[in-house]
Structure 1
Amino acid sequence: MKHAFQSFIKRNSFYLGGDQPSVAWIERLRSVFGAFIGLMLVITLAKYLGELSGIDEWLMASLGASALLVFALPQSPMAQPWAVIAGNTLSALIGISCFHLIGEPLLALPAAAALSILGMFVLRCLHPPAAAVALITVLGHIAHYRYAVFPVMVDSVLLVLAGAAYSNLTGKRYPNRPPQ
């Protein structure tokens, strides 16, 4: 019985995270600390810029997911500056457009996500959290295209800058550089 249970666990561990690579604790802590510092900087600056300009919307909800990619997986193509900035901004524009053009939320939500994915394929800026940006704009009834610039694009730029500074200070190369 014990052998059968161990065999079962071994065969099915893939479904319980067994496919995830082992990560050293120092790297885990580097990523976590970087995400904390980077998000703290971005949130503080975005809040200040929002107050300065009199805009209530100063933070995008999917910023945490973008931070995971930028700080924990800085070498991923989906964490590179073009993917983060263009993917998030494009998806916000598409989400806002779907909100305006499609009156039924049950159609606007999947259309916004699907069209943002298509747009990211076309512009070569795949960034998974950006599909959430498209949904958030529709769910939040965001009607102003300004939202795509501030907070979405500005927050994305600030996050990339914080990620680049932190990664390079801690010995990780970010963003990727083209081969020589």
Structure 2
Amino acid sequence: MRHTAKYLIKHYSFYFGGDQPGVSWAERFRACAGALVGLVLVFTVAKLLGELAGIDEWLMASLGASALLVFALPGSPMAQPWAVIAGNTLSALVGISVFLLIPEPLLAMPIAAGLSIMGMFILRCLHPPAAAVALIVVLGHISHYRYAFFPVMIDSVLLVTAGAIYSNLTGKKYPNRPK
């Protein structure tokens, strides 16, 4: 049976993002502007806090992925404050512990990511970017637990706060409230 070009395009578009929901340009700009403003605020405050405390590490690399969830998908369970803050902090703690216990990075990285995912399941704080936090810690040879609290936890709190203010000012409810 021969398929028409229209059928083939529709059938295979799934593999090229065809399953993604349509998003209005207004919502795209709202989410992008929120991420921009939110990250500028988080980075500025974190940098100032780091300078005040004399700490060079004031940023966590996976914050951009967390910002995508908080600003573009504020209704997602994985973008809620508990998921963002607890997921990132837990994953940093797990990553540091694994780094201290397992000297081989090729073994430490998957163990850190796997254990952080298990911990997030247990604590009900699944946040996909947090699994990257565990990897970042191992790759960055971070061996002090302070890193889990600053910058990871503080940056997460700042991001959630910026997300809540921005989303509510622009007509999106964040965080979700139980019904």
TM-score, length-scaled by structure 2: 0.97
Task: Report the Cα offset of residue 4 of structure 1.
Answer: 3.5
Counterpart in 2 of 1:144?
A: 144
The structural deviation recorded for 1:8 is: 1.9
C-alpha separation between the residues in 1 aligned to 2:61 and 2:98? 19
Corresponding letter in the other structure for 2:99? F
- Match for residue 33 of structure 1? 33
Name the aligned partner's letter for residue 160 of structure 2: V
**How many angstroms does 1:28 deviate by?**
0.4
Number of equivalent positions: 178
CA distance, structure 2, for counterparts of residue 9 and residue 132 of structure 1 = 35
Please list the CA deviations of residues 55-105 of structure 1 after superposition, one character each: whole Å capped at 9, or x if unmatched.
000000000000000000000000000000000000000000010001111
Structure 2 matches for 1:74-153, cutoff 5 A? 74-153=74-153
State how far apart, in whole Å, the 2-side matches of 1:176 and 1:108 are.
Answer: 35
Q: What's the counterpart of residue 16 of structure 2?
A: 16
Partner of 2:176: 176
Task: Report how far residue 6 of structure 1 moved.
Answer: 3.0
Structure 1 stretches of at least 4 aligned residues deviating more than 4 Å after TM superposition? none
Structure 2 unaligned regions, length at least 5: none
**Matching of residue 66 in structure 1 with residue 59 in structure 2:** no
| Gaps in structure 1 of 5+ consecutive residues | none
Return the TM-score normalized by structure 1.
0.97
- Work out the CA distance in 2 between the residues paired with 1:69 and 1:10: 28
